[in-house]
Amino acid sequence: MIGSIVISFLFVTLSACDNNQSVAMVSQSAIEIDDTPRVIAHRGANEWYNESTITAYQIAAETGVDSLEMDLRMTKDGELIVMHDETMDRTTNGKGKVSDYTLEEIRAFRTMESDDSKEITEKIPTLKEILETFHDTQNYYIETRLVDEKLAMEEKLIQLLEEYQLLDKELVTIQSFSEESLMKIKELAPDTELALLFRKGSFSLEKAHTVDFPIIGIESTDVTKKVVEELHKKGKEVHVYFINKKTQKEEQERVLEYEVDGYFTDYIHFTKEILAH
């Protein structure tokens, strides 16, 4: 829901009058609760720097986003790194599946980007390195997945989040396309905020209604006014992701009319601008 809600509280105090009688003195103060949709930096500030790198997340943090979004992959020796793709090919100078390499071997590769005048490289970060960089100064929106169709990364993830005391401070949302992964997280850390993702074209309102997760993540072209209204009636938030960068800005403006609750954005300034109007 867009805008803000003002909740007024009445405070009653007793004051002695000249005749020693107590009378009620009523004072009123207002607390403003920000109800603006969340701006979630998709893979960091990837519009300006190599996606899923510490620098990309630092830039995003400096813009004042609500959460830093990151995808987890697990190395051959069970370490968690931050990378979206199953393979190294698209975003690094490496080749092949992340799960075929140990962390030490991955250290030899670099993320790659070009600004037309020079090649920009940066190391592939581990989740621990990102947590070490930001500690409790940011909110984290972390995506888990099955590893070779099996639960594997959940215990390691919760262990790291507990090590940095982020769960107690309610600074973490965990999302996944895998209900199995989310249920494991719920078992390990029952109070963690969870989001179930639906792939493009596979959204089911009936399923979204019935699952026991407070946030539903939907690809933008599957978002309609009815979908948002029905999920809001169930007390669920709707967070929207975009897989087509060419139409993303247009789609962000479209779903804005439906009062969605979160944007996984590749265009941070644009999103903040339309939400400010």
Task: Please indicate whether residue 239 is annotated as part of the active site.
Answer: no
Helix or strand run (H / E) with residue 198: strand 193-198
Task: Please indicate whether residue 84 is annotated as part of the active site.
Answer: yes
Instruction: Choose the catalytic residue: 42, 209, 239, 269.
Output: 42
**Tokens 């930001």 sit at which residue?**
134
The Cα angle at residue 219 between residues 73 and 43, in degrees rounded to 5: 40
Helix/strand/coil for 102: coil
Q: How far is CA 225 from the centre of its chain?
A: 22
Instruction: Choose the catalytic residue: 84, 209, 232, 269.
Output: 84
Q: How far apart are CA 216 and CA 156, in angstroms?
A: 24
- Cα–Cα distances in angstroms (integers) from residue 12 to residues 15, 18, 28, 29, 224, in the given order: 10, 19, 9, 12, 46
By annotation, the residues acting in catalysis are 42, 84
